[in-house]
Each structure stands twice: as C-alpha cells, then as structure tokens.
Amino acid sequence: MAIAIYHNPDCSKSRKTLELLKENDIEPTIVEYLKAPPTAEKLKEILSQLGMAPRDLIRTKEDEYFEYGLKDPSLSDEQIIAYMARYPILIERPIVFANGKAVIGRPPEQVLEII
C-alpha cells in the first residue's frame, strides 16, 4: 500500500503525524510540499480526495492570507487554488494519502482512518 504525506518539517502537527505513521510501521513517501509545491491541477485532485472546498484547505493565519486579501468572499475557487499553488505555505498540513483517499492530520490520529 503506497502512502504519502505532504509534510512540513517545521510544523509540529506534521512531525507528529509522520511519527504516528512510523509507529504503525508505515514508511510513507515524504513530499516536502514547500520545496516542491503542487500545481493548481494537483491541488484540485487533492481537494477531490479530501472532499473539501478550496477555502477549507487554506491556512487563515498565514501572512499571505492577509497580504493577498484571501478572506474576500468574492474570490473564486480557481483564484484560491492559484494562490495556494503559488504560495504553498497557505496549504493546510499535513495531508496523508492512502488507498485513493486523503485526510488532514489534525489531529494526527485522524490519518489512521484511511490506512
């Protein structure tokens, strides 16, 4: 079973989620998405796997959220996705992928639902 994690090593929740996977004898493929950001098309795929709208995946406490006025309700899903692709720090983390599904590791134990 191929399992992957969109990981930010500076994030405590991401580190805890990765640790939890390893405690369960899972060695996931680690994608440091800040170094290798997903494209807008990949983000659409991720959103589909998560069953979420773009606004549900955006981090609202990041400077970029305020700097680019992303709270503006008139912004389209396409625009929100474009900002997340350009500024991946805006993407909620960690995201774990397994069995054609995805889940955000907040709390980390939530990832156990799909493995």
Please identify which of the residues 3, 4, 11, 89 carries the catalytic annotation. 11
Please state, in angstroms and rounded to a whole number, the distance separating the CA atoms of residues 51 and 67.
27
The 10 Å Cβ neighbour count of residue 19 is: 11
What number of residues does the chain have? Answer: 115
Q: Is 32 a catalytic residue?
A: no
For residue 92, which of 21, 8, 4, 26 has the smallest C-alpha distance? Answer: 8
**Partners of 101 in the β-ladder:** 98
* Residue labelled with tokens 């400077």: 63
Cα–Cα distances in Å, from 42 out to 3, 48, 101? 16, 10, 14
Instruction: Return the active site residues.
Output: 11
